[in-house]
């Protein structure tokens, strides 16, 4: 399925073979070949920027690390430099799903965002030893749901700790000779949960009866492309290797997707993930299967559920034949959640009960199993 792919490559960094230098790092720009340099964007100090933050999970858990602490440290450096960083997002929320990326891109356009700053903490291995690096990447916002395009120029800086990172960044700002025209920069960073509620139409915590009549479009997982003309450099060479590995996983995922969908009770077809929804509808599909992948509490916010801040765990119910299994998953842990959208109206069918799970395979099986139970199929 199509996603923004701003951070997928970060999942591979910790699995990479040793790298002799930080410059060999694949930067957290997802599957995008960028023209890395030390040149800051000309408009950086007189336009608005957005910051996407990514940090490793907490040790021994699947929970997010303290990304807001890194954001606060970064905001002090950006404010001192004269950068108007008006919004901070966790990278996991930015690329949570297709609808989330589209809505967020629209919001950033409406706020006249010109630049994207990626602030990341990366764990990797160098010379056979565990290591940690902090990185800043600054590039143009392409005003699309992909956020960044192949071939864009991108400022980069990498260091072993944040003190060295922001000192070098400050030197680069001073060296640029640019003067800030941003005079109303907030003292503290403002945090957002992705695009917020992404439901455009009605929401139903159930299933659409019309699925009995209308064929469901199921986007396949999407292979990343390697453009014929692309920038050079070690980071891009390493990225090419990771794309090859990623695409092998995509092929396996699509085979698994087909196997799980064989349990879907009505008519469906796998479709090209790059096809626009209007074209899918013209091809005869009224409904499309979509998913989100971020923390459970943020998925609930994105899909319009009532969120109780006192809840620390969510209970996922899994249908296994005639048996029901309960799984307690921390609200702040990343999960997958499937839903079906009526393409024309934007109405969404979330299923009932809550069925998000820690893998996309389990989440999809849960959704289909609960659908069959709800519609009294196979009983």
Q: Are 85 and 118 in contact (CB under 8 A)?
A: no
Which one is predicted more confidently, 14 or 84?
84
Span 257-295, pLDDT tens digits: 999 999 999 999 999 999 999 999 999 999 999 999 999
Q: Tell me how far apart the alpha carbons of residues 154 and 136 are, in angstroms, rounded to a whole number.
A: 10
Q: What is the C-alpha to C-alpha distance for residues 35 and 331, in angstroms, rounded to an integer?
A: 38
Q: Mind listing the pLDDT tens digit for each residue in 47-73?
A: 999 999 999 999 888 899 999 999 999
Could you tell me which residues are beta bridge partners of residue 122?
133
Q: Is the pLDDT of residue 123 over 90?
A: no
Nearest to 199 by CA among 379, 345, 56, 50: 345
Given phi > 0 = left and psi -120 to 50 = alpha, else beta, which region is 240?
alpha
Q: How far apart are CA 22 and CA 125, in angstroms?
A: 10
pTM here? 0.89
Mean pLDDT to the nearest integer, 137-145: 95
Residue 162: C-alpha distances to residues 70, 77, 154, 332 (Å)? 9, 10, 20, 26
Share of the chain above pLDDT 90, in %: 72
Residue 371 DSSP SS3:
helix
How far from 320 is each of 87, 99, 362, CA to CA, in Å? Answer: 43, 30, 11
Q: Of all helices (H) and strands (E), which one includes residue 130?
A: strand 129-140
In this predicted structure, what is the pLDDT of residue 8? Answer: 40
Burial grade of 212 (CB within 10 A; 0-12, 13-18, 19 or more): exposed
């Amino acid at each position: 399925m199509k996603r923004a792919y701003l951070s997928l490559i970060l999942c591979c960094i910790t699995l990479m073979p040793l790298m002799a230098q930080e410059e060999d790092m694949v930067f957290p720009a997802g599957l995008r070949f960028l023209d890395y340099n030390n040149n800051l964007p000309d408009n950086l100090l007189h336009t608005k920027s957005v910051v996407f933050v990514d940090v490793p999970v907490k040790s021994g858990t699947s929970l997010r690390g303290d990304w807001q602490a890194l954001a606060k440290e970064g905001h002090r450096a950006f404010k001192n430099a004269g950068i108007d960083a008006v919004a901070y997002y966790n990278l996991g929320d930015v690329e949570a799903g297709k609808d989330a990326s589209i809505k967020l891109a629209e919001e950033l356009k409406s706020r006249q965002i010109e630049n994207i700053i990626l602030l990341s903490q990366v764990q990797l291995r160098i010379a056979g030893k565990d290591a940690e690096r902090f990185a800043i990447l600054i590039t143009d916002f392409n005003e699309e749901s992909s956020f960044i395009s192949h071939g864009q120029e991108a400022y980069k800086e990498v260091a072993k700790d944040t003190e060295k990172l922001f000192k070098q960044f400050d030197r680069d700002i001073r060296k640029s000779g640019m003067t800030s025209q941003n005079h109303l920069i907030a003292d503290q960073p403002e945090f957002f949960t992705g695009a917020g509620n992404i439901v455009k139409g009605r929401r139903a915590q159930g299933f659409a009866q019309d699925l009995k009549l209308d064929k469901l479009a199921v986007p396949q997982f999407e292979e990343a492309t390697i453009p014929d003309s692309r920038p050079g450099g070690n980071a891009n060479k390493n990225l090419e290797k990771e794309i090859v590995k990623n695409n092998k996983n995509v092929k396996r995922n699509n085979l698994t997707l087909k196997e799980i969908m064989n349990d879907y009770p009505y008519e469906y077809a796998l479709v090209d993930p790059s096809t626009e929804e209007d074209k899918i509808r013209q091809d005869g599909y009224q409904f499309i299967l979509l998913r989100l992948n971020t923390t459970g509490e943020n998925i609930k916010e994105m899909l319009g559920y009532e969120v109780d801040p006192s809840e620390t765990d969510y209970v996922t119910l899994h249908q296994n034949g005639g048996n029901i299994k309960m799984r307690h998953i921390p609200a702040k842990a990343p999960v997958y959640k499937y839903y079906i959208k009526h393409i024309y109206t934007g109405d969404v069918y979330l299923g009932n009960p809550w069925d998000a799970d820690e893998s996309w395979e389990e989440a999809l099986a849960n959704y289909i199993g609960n659908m069959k139970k709800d519609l009294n199929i196979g009983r």
